Amino acid sequence: MAQNVAILLKFPSVQTLRIRGLAPVDSSGLDIPTSGFLPLLQEYTGPGVTLPMFLPLSTLTRLTTYDIDPRPFIAVACQLSAPSRIISLDLSFNEFDNIALDKLSAVFIWLTELRIHITMEQDINGVARSFFQKLADAPTLPQQLERLVLTWKFEYEAEVPTCGPQLDLGYYRDVLLARCPKLIFVWLDADDFLLQWHRLRNDTIDERIANDVDEVHNIRPELDILWDSF
């Protein structure tokens, strides 16, 4: 990675940077001063291990990262000398809870777009169900948020996943809209239930609610299409 850093230093005008690949990343060379390093970078996509190098950049406004534990990510974010100027976060975690969301909201106060994808290796839908229930009880999320995606995916051991009682998804929608009045797109996916809500350009509302695994899996591919349509 140190060699890659040396190469990046030769391109100070870079505004968008994407680092792809799942190979192990050598963390040596990551502890470098950010002064003079990619001074114009606005958008970064890359693995979580590189975030200590890119997250402190004051010019960064859009961040996509994947395959990370939320705890070290939040630890790095909380060390920032000032609230981040990032307006768009797209994060893929291996676990997540309401405490982590509260901490993210406290650091990334200017967010207008938030996408969080959580993949867990157990059949524990109750985790996602409890998360959405607590979300309705706590004043989290930046008020200027316009687009919100929260998705959970479980690696079921059984052929038929364990599904809990149905939730009143309309209630959670209304709570979110009251707390974040600028929302135009909401996607809540717990793997066995899903809410898709968005406001069209003519101010009409398009909404779909699914309460079984098969229906959720049929709707899920539409997420990226709808997201990119804005």
Task: Report domain extents, the chain.
Answer: 2-228
Q: Which residues pair with 90 in a beta bridge?
A: 64, 115
Cβ contacts of 151 within 8 Å, gap of 6 or more: 116, 117, 118, 187, 189, 220, 223
| 25: pLDDT strictly greater than 70 | no
Q: Which pLDDT score is estimated for 196?
A: 96
Fold topology of 2-228: 3.80.10
How many percent of the chain have pLDDT more than 90? 39
Residue 109 structure tokens: 């106060």
Q: What is the pLDDT of residue 28?
A: 52
Tell me what pLDDT residue 24 has: 55
Which candidate, 173, 161, 141, places its Cα nearest to that of 212? 161
- Tell me the average pLDDT across 122-148: 81
Q: Give me 182's structure tokens.
A: 């600028």
Q: Cβ neighbours of residue 82 under 8 Å, at least 6 residues apart?
A: 58
Which pLDDT value is given to residue 23? 55
* The pLDDT of residue 212: 82
Which token pair is 14? Answer: 């870079």
Size of the chain, expressed as the number of residues it contains: 230
pTM: 0.88
